[in-house]
Amino acid sequence: MSKKVYSDRKTKPEKIEQSKAKEIIGLIIYCAIVVAIMFCVIKFVGQRTIVIGDSMNPTLEDGENLITDKITYRFKEPKRFDIIVFPQKANTSKLLIKRIIGMPGETVEIKEGRVYINGFELNETYGNEVMKDEGLAADAITLGPNEYFVLGDNRNNSQDSRFASVGNIQRSDIIGRAWLRIWPLDRVTLLKHQ
């Protein structure tokens, strides 16, 4: 007569079940960590932005994909000629991309198609076209302590600070600075701001 001996050893099927459960839990934890890292990168470091329209030609073209640097302006203030990304007033889900021309506290005026800052003509190479429509800047605009005046590089085909639909840009509305063109592949490059 054989005695039955108690054993706490698991059978092969039980071991396989435990191994599968550990793998699934590990995969779920891994995926959660990846999602959390991606969220932090998109929220605080950078995001993909698509250029819509021709207002920044020839610097940026319609349909190009950019990475917007969202971290730089946490440590330093925007500079003149930086290309910034901000939401449209009427539709905050639509992002606009323009170049900073006027800085906080400055007076901006457009006369005979040329930009004047504090009464002096701005020396720049971005908007070489003479502007046909001075818009709101036909009269001098004095910027507040946290306001920026922006223009598209394609001045005669740009909705920018000259028009009420865009107006002056508040510092708090700036999402970040256009940093890297990632698409199309033959135009991948870091963007020059100064």
| pLDDT for res 130 | 83
Q: 185 by DSSP, 3-state: which?
A: helix
Given a contact cutoff of 8 angstroms between Cβ atoms, the answer to whether 62 and 53 are in contact is yes
Q: Which two tokens stand for residue 15?
A: 């071991």
Q: Which two tokens stand for residue 93?
A: 């889900």
Looking at the DSSP bridge assignments, the partners of residue 96 are 86
In angstroms and rounded to an integer, the radius of gyration of the C-alpha atoms of the chain is 27
- Known catalytic residue at 2: no
Span 96-104, mean pLDDT? 95
pTM: 0.76
Report the share of the chain in percent with pLDDT over 90: 44
Annotated domain spans of the chain: 46-190
Looking at the DSSP bridge assignments, the partners of residue 12 are none
Among candidate residues 181, 132, 178, the one with its CA nearest the CA of residue 157: 132
Report the share of the chain in percent with pLDDT over 70: 84
Among 70, 98, 158, 161, the one annotated catalytic: 98
Given the DSSP bridges, would you call strands 147-151 and 169-170 parallel, antiparallel or unpaired? antiparallel
Q: CA 87, 69, 187, 129 torsion: positive or negative?
A: positive
Among 55, 70, 158, 161, the one annotated catalytic: 55
Phi, psi for residue 141 in degrees, rounded to 5: -115, 120
46-190, CATH topology level: Umud Fragment, subunit A (2.10.109)
- Known catalytic residue at 55: yes
Q: What is the pLDDT of residues 34-49, one digit of tens each?
A: 776 666 565 656 688 8
Whether 11 shows a pLDDT value over 70: the answer reads no
